Structure 1
């Protein structure tokens, strides 16, 4: 499909009766917004991870490993929602190894994290045309990323595939900041790092809870990728490439 050109856009006031406000900054979610990915952790091919685990001395069948790791993530995600604190990939791998009676080993946890993420990323896709599209946007607007993630190196790899970190003034990850979206602190942190205000910034995501609720909660305008029953139609876009037509 052809990609729309990036034109100047103005964001209508967030409440009725307000004057239009000029948007200077666009902050993006990553997964499901800038890149496409497969939800979940059981459909990917984790054979390489399984081989590494076996070579590390853990006697576990492939399906058992995949299910065990998935359940560990489910538990950590529930704890994260309750505490509003992010966990790291190393936390998850440590929990798996402890289940298998392996003593804590930071080097092993780091290597297992890298292997697991590599397998998980098999179905993560940077859309064709994204790099020139972002470069065009960057000539007119200041760009940044706020993403929930457990592993910063994965974000750096994806950003490099989009055209490099120079495209973005800030890249804020929940694992480094400590608070995951929709916590207001992570949004305020990004705004502060860019030296901008909510009224000058729009956020683009794909999740009602993490993105829409989080961004609008601190006063930013927000657009969501896809269809969302709880979001006004004018705040929904089919893909990130359709954003200029809605702003």
Structure 2
């Protein structure tokens, strides 16, 4: 206990915990891809919207299986270049830039805070140091979302899997955040929405963790177990 508080800091996951999309993630990317069809054709490439989207998700699923099993992160520019090479048989730099900008812009525009996010952060920042540890293939997406939603003012430190090179639940990414904030695992609480990525990863790093289950969870045995299972982030204020 530090100064009457259980922790010195609270570290958060972002997507699904503090931030959501105004439409589902798949729709966001598909809207971006559909908007690109005419620009792609103007560069001399012939592909239909449906074929483009089908190839995109097939490639995404393949890479996602790899990154989940290996706990490594493939930067967005890398996997988009791989996708473009597969479908068009070459990597055109202009085409790659168009794809990357379109996907990033779409994800940034669609991001929004959950209603309970802002009041919770405003109260916590008065008492705790705050940080974020998040899985993403693009640090630019994360930083632009935080700036657009004016959430960057709350976080002393943010680390993404795109920067670190590995994904949660690998405990090293949690240790890195703790080290950069000069914290010990017992000094910080982690708050996230994924049993696999957030609870398992933070507990392996020696941290306590609250699970945010906005849609509820089925009754089951968690291993490792979160300290608390809450239906929104505002409820963590009752336990700090």
Q: Is the 8 A contact 2:14 2:192 kept in 1?
A: yes
Q: Does structure 1 residue 51 correspond to structure 2 residue 38?
A: yes
TM-score by length of 2: 0.85
Q: Which residue of 2 aligns with 1:238?
A: 231
Alignment partners' CA distance in 2, 1:119 and 1:138: 29
Give the one of 209, 212, 228 matched to 1:225.
Answer: 212
1:79-131 deviations in Å (ceiling 9; x for gaps) = 11233210011122112211233532445323311202333455432234633
Q: Residues 107 and 139 (structure 1 numbering): CA distance in 2 closer, same or farther, change over 3 Å?
A: farther
Structure 2: which 5+ runs fail to align?
A: none
- Paired position in structure 2 for 1:193: 180
Question: Following TM superposition, by how much is the alpha carbon of 1:164 offset from its aligned partner in structure 2, in angstroms?
Answer: 4.2
Q: Does 1:89 align with 2:82?
A: no
Map of 1:24 onto structure 2? 8
Runs of 5+ unmatched residues, structure 1: 1-9, 12-19
- 1:162 is displaced (CA, Å) by 3.5
Structure 1 equivalent of residue 192 of structure 2: 205
Residue among 131, 134, 140 paired with 1:153:
140
The residue that corresponds to 1:126 in the other structure is 113
Of the three residues 19, 31, 45, the one matched with 1:35 is 19
- Give the number of equivalent residue pairs: 230
TM-score of the superposed pair, with normalisation by structure 1? 0.82
Write out per-residue CA displacement over residues 42-90 of structure 1, whole angstroms, 9 at most, x where no aligned residue: 5752322333333343321112211211111111111112332100111
In the superposition, relative to structure 1, how do residues 165 and 121 fare at CA in structure 2: closer, same or farther (>3 Å)? Answer: closer
Secondary structure at the aligned position of 1:100 is classed as helix
- Corresponding position: 1:184 with 2:171: yes
CA contact (8 A) 2:55 2:87 kept: no
